[in-house]
Chains A and B, each alone.
Chain A
């Protein structure tokens, strides 16, 4: 670890915890308003069809029902637009907030009931009749494209990225390795479902939406535009947020419905998603098929990678547009030298729930593809899996390393890193060589055990800016107003630590405001592991300004020079032994007519790139196909850990989600597009029984040169390589290199793999 400050680098307790532990949290469902109506959404029960008629008269007769809306009632509202990677070719595939002439997935909103209480709203929803002419459902993203509508195909675009002469590299290659790999459909699935409450304040002509998350400022602007209002007359308010993971806080149809209805009916409109709805209505993610090829020389060095992949985006292009396949293409080369690279990503529409990002979007997928490829290269050349990686890693001396690719509007330039150094540390921490001997001996005794590893580069700290305003209040409290958001990751604590360290106060006296569009005019929110990096550096800059200003003002009042003053624990004190009274920040703030505040903005055109190594040791039950994880290590270099306890929490929590996607979680569909994973009984998330203790090695060997503290984001490295590392370990355990080609490795799939192997061996 590098230098530990008074607050930065210390595992101080979270400021967020007390209200959350005492039942005083304010989550979306906890907001209620006098006279509110409850909304219930009627959703398509068929995967694909022509919408013939929606009959609402029976529902309207029910006592307590205020209104029922169908598409005609919201005809003035445009489809939901793109927030990131919004290519023009994708625009015809945007979703309207209520289906117009066709339905394209089970769960698509068709109508909305507004009633006096949620039970009545559900009763009424049952009385709405949706008549549909069923059409065949498209479920396989790799089959030939078909018609999305009269004029558009189910393949809007093929993303192309790359550099170098790939064909020439393949022509001179010693070996060519080709794999077909697939990643299952799973998603964030937070324990709190979504919720939105629209409130219109007629006196002030202000529309408020509670239940905001992730990107409140962006959503404020979009919602205002879609409803034909000025952004200043719309406010988004974030309460506590029960997990985000990428899916929550994007604009969904229900957000617009509650806002439009609040304006129309002049009553608060409350909508709380139920779990079945969540499983079919909130963004899915991940599902891709990769056909990847590598050209290598005789020593297993990569000469080129050519990857054609199929991205199943479900029924519509939502706010993320091409973000996930774009990231998959841009991040696939990872920590290795790839002299020539070509990616072609087929974006495909199918009749399933639309998709967006999920923690390590595009990277969980591409790391699985790349690391399977590295294992296959090792196997072909006949060297071990560690050695093949060493031969291909980008050297520390090559940093910063430009990949000649772009994603999210930025050039991919690895800012710093010592990939081989971290690999060594991870191997040492797991005693890799001894471990191999032990596993070999156990296998010789008939056990089905093995180890695997995977390396990756993450991205974090997406700009372009973050703005922070800090004010010392007369009470002595410090208020930090940010344009960021909290999805439960500990933003308040980390930002308070950076402010406290820089300014010279106790972190517990720092109050961090986030997710309130009425408190700050602009903000970027919380996604892409960006908050600690972008908001953290903006906070540091504003704290430096406030500190300078404080000392300047105090020097005048205390009749001394600013250089002879310091701020210690919230008090302005004289340094260098000079005597005289001190003064608290609160007292100074009270004494100044304009108060004591400062504001600054951090701008960054490039992302920062943490990197990591996952090592897994697994046992396989040959009878049941169950995988038990005996040991798991995540080594992750994030430049500087502001709060190691929280970083470790992010890594272990992220690992558990990666484990779910690698072994258990899958949104399955019937042949007709009926979703089969709509409860927690059939969508299996890891419990305390399935998640092992994880060893976490946080390193700070490669601070980012792009911000003063050297920060990189910690949110996604725990998830990124879990599929890849477990696949490698399972191969090793069952003794078949390259056996795992599909995630999740469910017991049924693993039993099938073992069965095939037994037949092959003739036993």
Chain B
């Protein structure tokens, strides 16, 4: 149980060689072993989605995955969204539409929305709300998050 295993986690294009117990969750490894604390923990039972990251192109709950399961996969976190000082359209849209207040759930929403829109750029408004209903926010009442994601979807479709 407690014997540590060496794995390499590729996060935002960079390899992190870590030694983790098999039971260690991916989110704990990202935060504690790789030092990327932008991914947050809200419930550890897969419902709130604060810990959402993109693994091999799919938004996943990193509290429901073990770190060892991410070996050999490509993980993207909120720290990898902006390119230098250039914010991702999704980040810009959250500012412009007041899509965040306390900001704790925000990285999870950003990664969920980016992950979905990269796969389905022309997702319908209804389906988008369905997708966004898989994460919890306690501050905004969601309307501005929905507006922000719709605005970003529009921007992301631009060539």
Contact = CB atoms under 8 A, between A and B. Distances in A.
Q: Of residues B23, B98, B130, B145, which shows the largest number of chain A Cβ atoms within 10 Å of its Cβ?
A: B98
B26 interface: no
Interface residues of A, number: 59
A34 to B, nearest CB: 14
B140 A29 contact: no
Contacts of A21: 78, 87, 91, 94-95, 100, 103, 106, 110
Contacts of B141: 652-656, 691, 694, 718
Q: Of residues A272, A489, A652, A657, which shows the largest number of chain B Cβ atoms within 10 Å of its Cβ?
A: A652
A689 B104 contact: no
A581 interface: no
A16 B142 CA distance: 19
B48 interface: yes
A653 B42 contact: no
Nearest to B24: A119
A656 B102 contact: no
B56 interface: no
Contacts of B40: 27, 29, 191-192, 242
Given A21-B103, A22-B81, A687 B139 contact: no
Contacts of B107: 23
Given A21-B106, A22-B82, A688-B145, A488 B91 contact: no
Contacts of A679: 43, 45, 47
Nearest to A659: B141
A487 interface: yes
Interface residues of B, number: 56
A119 B21 CA distance: 10
A685 B136 contact: yes
B91 A22 contact: yes
B138 interface: yes
A148 B154 CA distance: 61
A679 B48 CA distance: 10
A193 B79 contact: no
A17 B100 contact: yes
A652 B143 contact: yes
A490 interface: yes
Interface in B15-35: 21, 23-24, 28, 31-32
Given A275-B43, A649-B140, A17 B24 contact: no
B102 A190 contact: yes
Q: Is the interface of B mostly helix, strand, loop or mixed?
A: loop
B26 to A, nearest CB: 14
B42 A14 contact: no
Q: Of residues B102, B110, B136, B142, which shows the largest number of chain A Cβ atoms within 10 Å of its Cβ?
A: B102
Interface in B83-121: 87, 91, 94-96, 98, 100-107, 110
A25 interface: yes
Contacts of B78: 21-23
B83 to A, nearest CB: 11
Nearest to A656: B141
A191 B129 contact: no
B129 A688 contact: yes
A14 B98 contact: yes
Contacts of B133: 687-690
A366 B58 CA distance: 47
A275 B44 contact: yes
Nearest to A657: B138
Interface in B125-159: 129-130, 132-146
B45 A681 contact: yes
Interface in A514-549: none
Contacts of B75: none
Given A21-B94, A192-B42, A653 B100 contact: no
Given A21-B91, A23-B38, A242-B103, A688 B142 contact: yes
A657 B142 CA distance: 11
Contact of B138 (A26, A118, A245): A245
A243 B39 CA distance: 16
Interface string A10-25: 0001101110111111
A243 B144 contact: no
B110 A191 contact: no
A693 interface: yes
A189 interface: yes
Contacts of A243: 101-102, 104, 138-139
A643 to B, nearest CB: 10
B53 to A, nearest CB: 11
Contact of A23 (B37, B100, B140): B37
A227 interface: no
B42 A193 contact: yes
Nearest to A240: B103
Interface in A476-521: 487-490
A426 interface: no
Contact of B146 (A189, A648, A655, A688): A688
A261 B32 CA distance: 22
A487 B134 CA distance: 24
A253 to B, nearest CB: 22
B64 interface: no
B50 interface: yes
A27 B106 CA distance: 13
Contacts of A192: 40, 42, 102, 104
Interface string A437-471: 00000000000000000000000000000000000
Contacts of A275: 42-45, 48
A196 interface: no
Given A681-B45, A685-B136, A191 B79 contact: no
Contacts of B32: 32
A649 B132 contact: no
Interface string A644-674: 0110110011111100000000000000000
A-B complex: 10 closest residue pairs judged by Cβ atoms:
A23-B38, A488-B102, A20-B103, A242-B104, A656-B141, A680-B47, A652-B141, A23-B78, A689-B133, A687-B133
Given A25-B103, A191-B136, A680-B47, 13 more contacts: A20-B102, A20-B106, A21-B106, A25-B104, A29-B41, A32-B32, A191-B137, A242-B105, A488-B104, A679-B47, A680-B43, A687-B135, A688-B145
Interface of B: 21, 23-24, 28, 31-32, 36-45, 47-48, 50, 77-79, 81-82, 87, 91, 94-96, 98, 100-107, 110, 129-130, 132-146
23 contacts: A17-B94, A21-B103, A22-B78, A22-B82, A26-B37, A29-B31, A29-B40, A190-B102, A191-B40, A192-B104, A245-B138, A275-B45, A490-B101, A648-B98, A652-B141, A652-B144, A679-B43, A685-B136, A686-B142, A687-B136, A687-B142, A688-B142, A718-B141
